[in-house]
Amino acid sequence: MSMKSAALACAVLLAGANVRAETIYLTAARMVDPVAGKVVADPAVVITDDRVTAVGAAASLPVPDRARRIDLAGRTILPGLIDMHTHITSRADMHGYRALSVSVPAESISGVANAAKTLQAGFTTLRNVGAPGFADVALRDSINSGETVGPRLFVSGPLIGATGGHCDENLLPESYHAVGDGVADGPDAVRRMVRRNHKYGADLIKLCATGGVLSKGDSVGAQQMTYEEMKAAVDEAHMLGLKVAAHAHGVAGINDAIRAGVDTIEHASLADEESMRLAKARGAVFDMDIYNDDFILSEGPKMGMLPESIAKERAIGRQQRETFRRAVKAGVTMTFGTDAGVYPHGDNARQFAKMVEWGMTPMQAIQAATSTAAHVLGPLGDNLGAIAPGKYADIIAVDGDPTSDVSRLEHVDFVMKAGMVYRQDGKPVAR
Ligand SMILES: [Zn+2]
């Protein structure tokens, strides 16, 4: 190596992250271990390329030769956070009729900016559950190739649902012939739509089992896909190795979705005792977005949300939080999903405090966004959700201890994804 290139390499390493160091030795004041459900003092983590290779007490884990040192003194490290319900290409200020002016290419561009913000907030993996025109597939591939910066994405592509349902385009009169790009009626058509989404790169399938808050002209609790339609979707998706998420607020839609074999129930607002019994028996997981009620009610009208959407949220938001509390008590497996995109990207961690307010311990809320989320992802999550040998080096840090004050997670100080540092000392690392 010439003097000039050695100096350049050194400068790049000092800058922090442009070049992947071979080995990093990372220390901190504490580590949250969500798998064991405990906090460990004075941990050390050895990272080699994109993986964790050793974890132990700093006093007993030797520093490998030529390792780069990162000391997060006074900070708590934990696995990179996972948000299981995002709309990464959507903008929080483009609801209702404003959304009609947004093209698929424009969504893709917004997705690039939204992904960068979400990574800076400590979310190193997202499950994206709905994007038009496979914009989320394009964004996932762009991030994976290193072209753009963002969390690791697992994506559904277009939402699959009924004509006139939550996932159709209902804002315009019939003469415009506007149809959502995942609309399908009847088991065969739904099955074909699952095959199409798989063909164009979806990692999972998202169904719209019931009406929704932000869709025009439907009833938020009413079932919109039949059991037979959902069964066809689930059979096809599982045959292809894909998990299925179902948007479902009302109890009939929730229970039919679980009976059909859906893996995660999104929203689960009006779930009853039978829903919870079924979920536990069938291994279905609740993914409840209990932060965004605050945003919809206070900011929604300014963001273009229709008056009927605000009314629907007013009718259902509080009930959803009460259902959340009952589901925690009942022992339903719960993961962390926020519906980011309805509210601004990067505020995802605001949901942690709500989850604690409505019945979880801080550790349970952290597990929902780390070890449990990784488990719910199935094989896609095999190397995620823990700081442990063999896992991706997805590590974040906050000041203080988030297991005593979970709102600490709203101020992430350090972000590493797959061994690369993207945020340090509370500031983005330039790439
Ligand atoms: Zn959603």
The CATH number covering residue 400 comes to 2.30.40.10
Q: How far apart are alpha carbons 400 and 75 in whole angstroms?
A: 6
Host domain of residue 414:
3-80+386-428
Residue type, 78: L
17 and 134 assigned to the same domain: no
Helix axes 227-239, 251-260, angle to 10 degrees: 40
Q: Give 247 Cα–ligand 1 centroid separation in angstroms.
A: 7
265, 287 contact by CB (below 8 A): yes
Q: Ligand 1: distance of its center to the CA of 269 in Å?
A: 13
What is the pTM (predicted TM-score) of this model?
Answer: 0.94
- Count of domains forming the chain: 2
Helix (H) or strand (E) holding 118: helix 104-120
- Per-residue model confidence (pLDDT) at position 20: 54
**Do residues 309 and 394 both lie within one domain?**
no
**86 and 99, same domain (yes or no):** yes
Do 391 and 411 lie in a common domain? Answer: yes
How many C-alpha atoms does 422 have within 13 Å on its Cβ side?
Answer: 26
User: Which residues have their alpha-adjacent CB atom under 5 A from ion ligand 1?
Assistant: 339
User: By CB neighbour count within 10 A (0-12 exposed, 13-18 middle, 19+ buried), where does 304 fall?
Assistant: middle
Residue 393's nearest CA partner among 31, 50, 34, 17 is 50
Residue 249 CA, distance from chain mean position: 19
**In this structure, are residues 228 and 179 in contact, taking their beta carbons and an 8 Å threshold?**
no
Question: Which class for 197: exposed (0-12), middle (13-18), buried (19 or more C-beta within 10 A)?
Answer: buried
Q: Are residues 188 and 319 in the same domain?
A: yes
Q: How far is the CA of 201 from the centre of ligand 1 (A)?
A: 19
Among candidate residues 342, 360, 381, the one where a domain is terminated: 381
Beta-bridge mates of residue 43:
57
Cα(227) to centroid of ligand 1, in Å? 21
SS3 163: coil
Would residue 268 be called left, alpha or beta, if left means φ above 0 and alpha means ψ between -120 and 50 degrees?
left
Kindly give the distance from the C-alpha atom of residue 85 to the centroid of ligand 1, in angstroms, as a whole number: 6
Q: How far is the CA of 11 from the centre of ligand 1 (A)?
A: 43
- The residue from 366, 381, 396 where one domain ends is 381
- Expressed in angstroms and rounded, the spacing between residue 408 Cα and the centre of ligand 1 is 25
Nearest to 376 by CA among 50, 32, 82: 82
The Å distance, Cα 39 to ligand 1 centre, comes to 32
Ligand 1 centroid to residue 342 C-alpha, Å: 8
CA of 280 to the centre of ligand 1 (A): 23
Q: From ligand 1's centre to the CA of 97, what distance in Å? A: 18
For residue 344, report the distance from its CA to the centre of ligand 1, in Å: 13
- Ligand 1 centroid, distance to 2 Cα (angstroms): 53
Which tokens go with 29?
């004041």
Q: Domain check: are 419 and 317 in the same one?
A: no
Kindly state the tokens that stand for 43.
């941990």
- Amino acid at position 251, single letter: V
**Half-sphere CA count of 64, side-chain side, radius 13 A:** 16
**Ligand 1 geometric centre to CA of 167 (Å):** 10
How far, in Å, is the centroid of ligand 1 from the Cα of 315? 18
Q: How far is the CA of 165 from the centre of ligand 1 (A)?
A: 14
- Looking at 349, 365, 381, the residue that finishes a domain is 381
- Give, for 247, the enclosing helix (H) or strand (E): strand 243-248
**Ligand 1 centre and the CA of 337: distance in Å?**
9
Same domain, 407 and 263: no
Residues 50 and 153 in one domain: no
What is the Å distance from ligand 1's center to 212 Cα? 9
26 and 85 part of one domain: no
With contact defined as beta carbons under 8 Å apart, do 320 and 291 qualify? Answer: no
Question: In sequence order, what E strands does 80-156 have?
Answer: 81-86, 123-128, 152-155
Collapsed DSSP state (helix, strand, coil) of residue 168: coil
And the tokens for 171?
């804002």
Report CA(211)–ligand 1 centroid distance (Å).
12
Strand pairing report for 204-208 and 243-248: parallel
CA of 261 to the centre of ligand 1 (A): 20
Cα gap 430→238, rounded to integer Å: 41
Letter for the amino acid at 124?
T
Tell me: do 202 and 333 sit in the same domain.
yes
**87 Cα to the center of ligand 1, angstroms:** 6
Q: How far is the CA of 204 from the centre of ligand 1 (A)?
A: 14
Measure the CA angle with vertex 352, ends 348 and 354; round to 5°. Answer: 110
**Along the chain (431 residues), what's the average pLDDT of each consecutive run of 10 residues?**
44 45 92 98 97 97 96 98 98 93 96 98 98 97 97 98 95 94 98 98 98 86 96 98 97 98 98 98 98 92 91 90 98 98 97 98 98 98 98 97 97 97 95 75
CA of 151 to the centre of ligand 1 (A): 18
Q: Which CA distances in Å does 158 have to 7, 84, 130, 182?
A: 48, 16, 5, 5
Q: Residue with structure tokens 């780390």?
A: 370
Mark whether 161 and 196 lie in a shared domain. yes
Residues 181 and 136 occupy one common structural domain: yes
